Amino acid sequence: MDRLLPWFSLKSVPGVGNHIFKLLIDRFGSPETVFKSTIADIAGVDGVNSKTASAILNFKTLSKDKNEIALIKKKSYRIITLTDPLYPSLLYQIHDPPPFLYVYGTIDRSIKKIAIVGSRKATAYGVTITKRLAQELVSYKVTIISGMALGIDTAAHIGALAGHGKTIAVLGSGLEKIYPQKNRKLFHKISENGAVISEFPLHAEPEPHNFPKRNRVISGISLGTIIVEAAGRSGSLITARLAAEQNREVFAVPGNINSFKSTGTHRLIKQGAKLVENVDDVLEEFQHIFNIDDKKKETGSRPIEKIPELSDDEDKIYRVLGPYPIHIDEIVRKLSMETGKLSSMLLQMELKGIVQQFPGKLFSLKI
């Protein structure tokens, strides 16, 4: 019998959810032993009734489980079970960890993992901050965890990869249903520098009810979760709540007080989440884990970038711009400057590395 089949079979038994599955493994050590036990022994486990115990012992292996295992092997994916040494130790500690994870790539045993999540429709400010945080965190051998969604999640993965670090994407669908499709290339890139993981069957669609489940894995596998740009009703706030319930650290990056995309993060800060201005705000919470002092001796603090000398007109433009992009017409209105002259000066400032331009004639300071 395939060693994985008992795991899939036990997970398929009606009444055996993730929490019950973990209780059974803690008591019996393996699904094989569970299936060989008596109704009395199984029902003796806290939270397991005789009806569920009977369903376990009378359960017949499903052909769908055999087919799933065959496809896993054909595709060269891996299954990491609760008893596998590579199963994330922090994830094992939560109330209802997945009995097993589908893995595309490589997971290591390090607990130095930080999650970064946020809005799918992120601003340029949010994307820039996220990439910077991820890139700096991986220099401390931190693995970046996120959900591979568009916006902040994508920026977190890209930042980690840009820093030549590791990153793990947790999907709300099966590994054969890459979502979003726009991130197909990123999906494979992540697998080469970390892993893409899921608790859902290979062909599971990205159903809405999957994502709260996915979020508990993102927070559960991590020492802490950083929220960047979350509106008042955001899935990222669910991740933050789950992290708090799992007794993990919650961090939030402040944004523009006039931006609805930051109302959720500001609320988290009011509720006690740690405000993050730079990577040090995250690292100081884990001084016993990260060799912060040694790293600073090696690399020094992040240098303060000096602003090139500005002309009077450039200085006026500089004072109008901020981290959030604004349209050139708005700059013209505020400065009462001729459009052609302003365009020329914005280009000069962009070449100096002070300004960045976005599609639609939007401009912001380069963060």
In this prediction, residue 299 carries a pLDDT of 41
Report CA 244 to chain centroid distance, whole Å. 15
pTM: 0.84
Q: Report all structural domains of the chain as residue ranges with CATH numbers, in order of start.
A: 1-64 (1.10.150.20), 113-299 (3.40.50.450), 312-365 (1.10.10.10)
Structure tokens given for 95:
């109330």
pLDDT at position 358, please? 87
Q: State residue 231's pLDDT score.
A: 85
The pLDDT assigned to 206 comes to 97
Contact 304, 346 (CB under 8 A): no
Alpha helices in 178-230 (DSSP H): 184-192, 210-220
Q: Which two tokens stand for residue 77?
A: 């994916």
pLDDT at 287 (0 to 100): 81
Following DSSP, what letter does each residue of 41-98 receive, concatenated? HHHTSTT--HHHHHHHHT----HHHHHHHHHHHHHT-EEEETTSTTS-HHHHTSSS--
pLDDT of residue 292: 59
Q: How far apart are CA 309 and CA 316, in angstroms?
A: 13
Average pLDDT of adjacent 10-residue blocks, the chain of 367 residues: 90 96 97 96 94 95 94 96 95 96 95 95 91 95 96 96 97 97 97 98 97 97 95 87 95 88 92 94 86 48 54 87 85 91 91 88 83
